[in-house]
Amino acid sequence: MRLVQFYLPESGRRIGILDGDQVLDITSPGLSSTMELLERSVSESVTMEEIVSRLTAAGSYPYESLDVSPDSSRPHLLIPIDPPEVWGFGVTYKRSAEMRDEDTTGEKGIYDYVYFAERPEAFFKATGPRCVGTNDYICIRRDSTLTAAEPELAYVLGKNEDIIGFTVCNDVSAWDIERENPLYLPQSKIFYGCCALGPTLALASGIEDPYNLDITCRIIRDKKAIFSGEINSSSIKRKFDELTEFLCRDNPIPVGTVVTTGTGIMIPNDYALAVGDVVEIEIENIGKLSNPVKKL
Protein backbone atom coordinates (compact mmCIF):
# COMPACT_ATOMS: atom_id res chain seq x y z
CA MET A 1 0.00 0.00 0.00
CA ARG A 2 1.34 3.42 -1.00
CA LEU A 3 0.17 6.53 0.85
CA VAL A 4 0.45 10.13 -0.27
CA GLN A 5 -0.39 13.49 1.22
CA PHE A 6 -1.97 15.99 -1.13
CA TYR A 7 -3.44 19.46 -1.02
CA LEU A 8 -6.89 20.64 -2.08
CA PRO A 9 -7.49 24.42 -2.29
CA GLU A 10 -10.85 24.10 -0.50
CA SER A 11 -9.76 21.84 2.38
CA GLY A 12 -5.96 21.83 2.73
CA ARG A 13 -3.91 18.71 3.48
CA ARG A 14 -5.47 15.29 2.70
CA ILE A 15 -4.28 11.68 2.93
CA GLY A 16 -4.61 9.41 -0.09
CA ILE A 17 -3.95 5.82 -1.11
CA LEU A 18 -2.50 5.22 -4.52
CA ASP A 19 -4.80 2.80 -6.34
CA GLY A 20 -3.53 2.20 -9.89
CA ASP A 21 -3.49 5.63 -11.48
CA GLN A 22 -5.95 7.12 -8.96
CA VAL A 23 -5.47 8.63 -5.52
CA LEU A 24 -8.34 7.73 -3.19
CA ASP A 25 -9.01 10.38 -0.56
CA ILE A 26 -9.20 8.64 2.84
CA THR A 27 -9.02 11.76 5.00
CA SER A 28 -11.37 11.54 7.97
CA PRO A 29 -12.00 13.51 11.18
CA GLY A 30 -8.76 13.58 13.21
CA LEU A 31 -6.83 11.89 10.41
CA SER A 32 -5.60 14.40 7.88
CA SER A 33 -1.90 13.50 7.82
CA THR A 34 0.18 10.35 7.55
CA MET A 35 1.80 11.30 10.91
CA GLU A 36 -1.66 11.20 12.54
CA LEU A 37 -2.28 7.84 10.89
CA LEU A 38 1.04 6.56 12.24
CA GLU A 39 0.39 7.97 15.74
CA ARG A 40 -3.07 6.34 15.73
CA SER A 41 -1.56 2.98 14.76
CA VAL A 42 0.98 3.35 17.58
CA SER A 43 -1.63 4.29 20.20
CA GLU A 44 -3.93 1.41 19.19
CA SER A 45 -1.03 -1.04 18.66
CA VAL A 46 -2.29 -1.99 15.19
CA THR A 47 -0.74 -1.61 11.76
CA MET A 48 -1.28 1.43 9.58
CA GLU A 49 -2.92 -0.91 7.03
CA GLU A 50 -5.49 -1.86 9.71
CA ILE A 51 -6.33 1.81 10.39
CA VAL A 52 -6.61 2.50 6.64
CA SER A 53 -8.90 -0.51 6.13
CA ARG A 54 -11.45 1.13 8.46
CA LEU A 55 -11.59 4.34 6.40
CA THR A 56 -13.94 5.06 3.51
CA ALA A 57 -12.71 6.84 0.40
CA ALA A 58 -14.43 10.19 -0.06
CA GLY A 59 -13.37 10.85 -3.65
CA SER A 60 -10.63 10.12 -6.11
CA TYR A 61 -8.16 12.11 -8.20
CA PRO A 62 -5.98 11.00 -11.12
CA TYR A 63 -2.39 10.76 -9.76
CA GLU A 64 -1.20 12.60 -12.86
CA SER A 65 -3.39 15.61 -12.06
CA LEU A 66 -1.77 15.89 -8.58
CA ASP A 67 1.81 15.38 -9.81
CA VAL A 68 2.28 19.09 -10.57
CA SER A 69 4.26 21.93 -9.01
CA PRO A 70 2.83 23.15 -5.72
CA ASP A 71 0.50 26.12 -6.12
CA SER A 72 -2.14 26.98 -3.51
CA SER A 73 -4.75 27.54 -6.22
CA ARG A 74 -4.74 23.92 -7.44
CA PRO A 75 -4.60 20.34 -6.07
CA HIS A 76 -1.06 18.95 -5.78
CA LEU A 77 1.02 16.30 -4.02
CA LEU A 78 2.72 17.17 -0.73
CA ILE A 79 5.61 15.53 1.11
CA PRO A 80 4.31 12.02 2.05
CA ILE A 81 5.18 12.43 5.74
CA ASP A 82 6.12 15.53 7.78
CA PRO A 83 9.05 14.05 9.70
CA PRO A 84 9.98 15.34 13.16
CA GLU A 85 13.61 14.52 12.28
CA VAL A 86 15.58 13.19 9.32
CA TRP A 87 18.86 11.36 9.94
CA GLY A 88 21.31 10.30 7.28
CA PHE A 89 23.83 7.52 6.88
CA GLY A 90 26.83 7.98 4.65
CA VAL A 91 29.42 5.94 2.80
CA THR A 92 27.22 2.85 2.82
CA TYR A 93 28.05 2.11 -0.83
CA LYS A 94 31.63 1.50 -2.08
CA ARG A 95 31.28 4.13 -4.83
CA SER A 96 30.56 6.82 -2.24
CA ALA A 97 33.74 5.94 -0.27
CA GLU A 98 35.89 5.83 -3.41
CA MET A 99 34.74 9.07 -4.98
CA ARG A 100 34.76 11.03 -1.71
CA ASP A 101 38.34 9.99 -0.85
CA GLU A 102 39.50 10.63 -4.42
CA ASP A 103 38.02 14.13 -4.44
CA THR A 104 39.34 15.05 -0.98
CA THR A 105 42.92 13.73 -0.76
CA GLY A 106 43.33 11.54 -3.85
CA GLU A 107 44.08 8.50 -1.70
CA LYS A 108 42.32 6.20 0.76
CA GLY A 109 41.27 8.18 3.81
CA ILE A 110 38.42 8.79 6.23
CA TYR A 111 35.71 7.63 3.84
CA ASP A 112 37.41 4.28 3.18
CA TYR A 113 37.93 3.96 6.93
CA VAL A 114 34.26 4.49 7.75
CA TYR A 115 33.11 2.19 4.93
CA PHE A 116 34.95 -0.69 6.61
CA ALA A 117 34.52 0.38 10.25
CA GLU A 118 32.05 -1.33 12.55
CA ARG A 119 30.41 1.98 13.44
CA PRO A 120 28.57 3.55 10.49
CA GLU A 121 28.55 7.27 9.74
CA ALA A 122 25.31 8.80 11.04
CA PHE A 123 24.49 12.49 10.80
CA PHE A 124 21.55 14.71 11.58
CA LYS A 125 20.09 15.77 8.24
CA ALA A 126 16.90 17.82 8.58
CA THR A 127 13.68 18.69 10.31
CA GLY A 128 10.29 18.79 8.56
CA PRO A 129 10.45 22.48 7.58
CA ARG A 130 13.81 21.97 5.83
CA CYS A 131 12.31 19.20 3.65
CA VAL A 132 10.29 19.46 0.46
CA GLY A 133 7.99 17.07 -1.39
CA THR A 134 7.96 16.16 -5.04
CA ASN A 135 7.86 19.01 -7.61
CA ASP A 136 8.95 21.53 -4.97
CA TYR A 137 12.32 23.31 -5.06
CA ILE A 138 15.50 21.79 -3.68
CA CYS A 139 18.11 24.43 -2.95
CA ILE A 140 21.76 25.35 -3.49
CA ARG A 141 22.97 27.35 -0.51
CA ARG A 142 24.30 30.78 -1.36
CA ASP A 143 27.88 30.00 -0.30
CA SER A 144 28.18 26.82 -2.39
CA THR A 145 29.24 26.41 -6.01
CA LEU A 146 29.32 22.59 -5.98
CA THR A 147 26.06 21.17 -4.66
CA ALA A 148 25.05 17.70 -5.77
CA ALA A 149 22.01 15.46 -5.70
CA GLU A 150 22.39 12.25 -3.64
CA PRO A 151 19.70 9.72 -4.65
CA GLU A 152 18.85 7.48 -1.69
CA LEU A 153 16.37 4.96 -0.36
CA ALA A 154 14.93 6.16 2.97
CA TYR A 155 12.88 4.40 5.61
CA VAL A 156 10.48 5.64 8.27
CA LEU A 157 10.64 4.46 11.87
CA GLY A 158 7.57 3.61 13.94
CA LYS A 159 7.57 2.49 17.53
CA ASN A 160 10.11 -0.03 18.85
CA GLU A 161 12.48 1.03 16.08
CA ASP A 162 10.35 -0.82 13.49
CA ILE A 163 10.47 0.21 9.85
CA ILE A 164 6.91 1.13 8.86
CA GLY A 165 7.62 2.21 5.29
CA PHE A 166 9.96 3.50 2.62
CA THR A 167 10.28 6.62 0.53
CA VAL A 168 12.69 8.19 -1.95
CA CYS A 169 15.15 10.80 -0.64
CA ASN A 170 17.40 13.36 -2.29
CA ASP A 171 20.13 14.11 0.28
CA VAL A 172 21.11 17.39 -1.43
CA SER A 173 24.67 18.18 -0.28
CA ALA A 174 27.13 21.06 -0.68
CA TRP A 175 30.15 18.93 -1.64
CA ASP A 176 32.53 21.92 -1.82
CA ILE A 177 31.85 22.70 1.85
CA GLU A 178 32.15 19.00 2.82
CA ARG A 179 35.53 18.76 1.03
CA GLU A 180 36.95 21.93 2.51
CA ASN A 181 37.01 20.30 5.94
CA PRO A 182 35.19 17.21 7.31
CA LEU A 183 34.20 19.28 10.35
CA TYR A 184 32.01 21.33 8.02
CA LEU A 185 29.78 18.31 7.30
CA PRO A 186 26.69 19.71 9.11
CA GLN A 187 26.87 22.90 7.04
CA SER A 188 27.20 20.90 3.84
CA LYS A 189 24.17 18.80 4.73
CA ILE A 190 21.69 21.01 6.62
CA PHE A 191 20.07 24.08 5.09
CA TYR A 192 16.69 25.12 3.76
CA GLY A 193 15.56 22.79 0.94
CA CYS A 194 18.38 20.26 1.61
CA CYS A 195 16.14 17.21 1.60
CA ALA A 196 13.43 16.07 -0.79
CA LEU A 197 11.15 13.15 0.14
CA GLY A 198 8.41 11.42 -1.82
CA PRO A 199 6.33 10.99 -3.79
CA THR A 200 4.78 8.16 -1.74
CA LEU A 201 5.21 6.47 1.61
CA ALA A 202 5.25 2.79 0.59
CA LEU A 203 4.23 0.77 3.64
CA ALA A 204 6.76 -1.90 4.55
CA SER A 205 4.32 -4.80 3.95
CA GLY A 206 4.22 -3.82 0.26
CA ILE A 207 8.00 -3.81 -0.26
CA GLU A 208 8.91 -7.45 -0.67
CA ASP A 209 12.70 -6.99 -0.56
CA PRO A 210 14.13 -3.56 0.26
CA TYR A 211 17.59 -4.95 -0.52
CA ASN A 212 16.64 -5.48 -4.15
CA LEU A 213 15.25 -2.21 -5.43
CA ASP A 214 16.41 -0.43 -8.58
CA ILE A 215 17.26 3.20 -7.95
CA THR A 216 17.69 5.53 -10.94
CA CYS A 217 18.52 9.20 -11.21
CA ARG A 218 18.36 11.70 -14.06
CA ILE A 219 19.36 15.34 -14.16
CA ILE A 220 17.42 17.32 -16.72
CA ARG A 221 18.85 20.61 -18.01
CA ASP A 222 17.11 22.59 -20.76
CA LYS A 223 14.71 19.64 -21.24
CA LYS A 224 17.59 17.19 -21.93
CA ALA A 225 18.91 14.47 -19.63
CA ILE A 226 22.52 15.52 -19.01
CA PHE A 227 23.16 12.73 -16.48
CA SER A 228 21.63 9.37 -15.75
CA GLY A 229 22.78 6.77 -13.26
CA GLU A 230 21.53 3.68 -11.50
CA ILE A 231 22.23 1.31 -8.63
CA ASN A 232 20.40 -1.55 -6.96
CA SER A 233 19.94 -1.38 -3.19
CA SER A 234 21.55 -4.84 -3.01
CA SER A 235 24.92 -3.04 -3.24
CA ILE A 236 24.49 -1.40 0.16
CA LYS A 237 27.10 -2.62 2.66
CA ARG A 238 24.99 -2.47 5.83
CA LYS A 239 21.59 -3.78 6.91
CA PHE A 240 18.93 -1.30 7.97
CA ASP A 241 18.62 -2.93 11.43
CA GLU A 242 22.31 -2.24 11.97
CA LEU A 243 21.85 1.44 11.01
CA THR A 244 18.81 1.78 13.28
CA GLU A 245 20.59 0.12 16.19
CA PHE A 246 23.48 2.59 16.03
CA LEU A 247 21.12 5.54 15.50
CA CYS A 248 18.91 4.72 18.49
CA ARG A 249 21.75 3.92 20.96
CA ASP A 250 21.10 6.27 23.88
CA ASN A 251 19.45 8.62 21.38
CA PRO A 252 15.64 8.90 21.64
CA ILE A 253 14.27 8.94 18.09
CA PRO A 254 10.69 10.17 17.65
CA VAL A 255 8.11 8.07 15.80
CA GLY A 256 7.95 9.17 12.15
CA THR A 257 11.68 9.87 11.88
CA VAL A 258 13.02 9.39 8.36
CA VAL A 259 16.37 7.61 7.97
CA THR A 260 18.11 8.01 4.63
CA THR A 261 20.47 5.17 3.85
CA GLY A 262 23.26 6.68 1.73
CA THR A 263 23.91 7.14 -1.95
CA GLY A 264 25.22 4.57 -4.40
CA ILE A 265 24.89 6.87 -7.41
CA MET A 266 27.77 9.34 -7.34
CA ILE A 267 27.12 12.20 -9.70
CA PRO A 268 30.31 13.51 -11.35
CA ASN A 269 31.30 17.07 -10.40
CA ASP A 270 30.56 18.18 -13.99
CA TYR A 271 26.88 17.72 -13.17
CA ALA A 272 26.82 19.87 -10.04
CA LEU A 273 23.34 21.28 -9.66
CA ALA A 274 22.52 24.49 -11.52
CA VAL A 275 19.52 26.77 -11.23
CA GLY A 276 16.70 25.47 -13.44
CA ASP A 277 17.84 21.80 -13.39
CA VAL A 278 15.30 19.15 -12.48
CA VAL A 279 16.46 16.08 -10.54
CA GLU A 280 14.41 12.91 -10.97
CA ILE A 281 14.99 9.94 -8.66
CA GLU A 282 12.91 6.82 -9.12
CA ILE A 283 12.75 3.70 -6.94
CA GLU A 284 10.65 0.76 -8.02
CA ASN A 285 7.41 0.28 -6.06
CA ILE A 286 7.79 3.71 -4.43
CA GLY A 287 7.65 6.22 -7.29
CA LYS A 288 9.44 9.09 -8.98
CA LEU A 289 10.60 12.08 -6.93
CA SER A 290 11.14 15.11 -9.14
CA ASN A 291 12.50 18.47 -7.96
CA PRO A 292 13.52 21.69 -9.67
CA VAL A 293 16.60 23.49 -8.37
CA LYS A 294 16.95 27.06 -7.10
CA LYS A 295 19.71 29.08 -5.43
CA LEU A 296 19.08 30.63 -2.04
Contact between 233 and ligand DO4 by CB under 6 A: the answer reads: no
Binding string, 153-182, against Mg ion, x = CB under 5 A? Answer: ------------------x-----------
Contact between 150 and Mg ion by CB under 5 A: the answer reads: yes
Size of the site for ligand DO4 (CB under 6 A): 10
Rounded to a whole number, what is the largest CA-CA distance in the chain? 59
Please give the distance of CA 58 from its chain centroid, rounded to a whole number: 28
Half-sphere exposure of 42 (CA within 13 A, CB side): 17
Q: How far apart are CA 241 and CA 243, in angstroms?
A: 5
Q: Kindly identify the residues of this chain, within the stretch 263-282, that bind Mg ion according to CB under 5 A.
A: 263
Q: Provide the total of helices (H) and of strands (E) in the chain, helices listed first.
A: 8, 19
**Is the dihedral angle over the CA atoms 187, 177, 181, 93 positive or is it negative?**
positive
Q: Kindly identify the residues of this chain, within the stretch 25-54, that bind ligand DO4 according to CB under 6 A.
A: none
If the CB atoms of residues 256 and 262 are measured against Mg ion, the closer one turns out to be 262
Contact between 121 and Mg ion by CB under 5 A: the answer reads: no
Among 136, 150, 280, 282, binds ligand DO4 (CB under 6 A): 150
- For the chain, first and last CA: distance in Å? 36
Contact between 136 and Mg ion by CB under 5 A: the answer reads: no
Q: Kindly identify the residues of this chain, within the stretch 78-107, that bind ligand DO4 according to CB under 6 A.
A: 88, 90-91, 96
Coil, helix or strand at residue 91: coil
Binding region for Mg ion (CB under 5 A) out of 130-138, 178-186, 261-269, 288-296: 261-269
Name the closest residue to ligand DO4 (Cβ): 90
Binding string, 81-110, against Mg ion, x = CB under 5 A? Answer: ------------------------------
Burial of 66 per CB tally in 10 Å (0-12, 13-18, 19+): buried
Coil, helix or strand at residue 260: strand
If the CB atoms of residues 9 and 186 are measured against ligand DO4, the closer one turns out to be 186
The CB-of-91 to ligand DO4 minimum distance in angstroms stands at 5
DSSP calls for 155-204 = EEE-GGG-EEEEEEEEE-EEHHHHHH-GGGHHHHH-STT-EEEEEEEEEG
Q: How far apart are CA 192 and CA 172, in angstroms?
A: 10
If the CB atoms of residues 1 and 154 are measured against Mg ion, the closer one turns out to be 154
Q: How far apart are CA 200 and CA 207, in angstroms?
A: 12
The CB-of-39 to ligand DO4 minimum distance in angstroms stands at 29
Binding string, 198-227, against ligand DO4, x = CB under 6 A? Answer: ------------------------------
Which residue ranges make up the site for Mg ion (CB under 5 A)? 150, 171, 263
For ligand DO4, the binding residues (CB under 6 A) are 88, 90-91, 96, 121, 150, 171, 185, 262-263
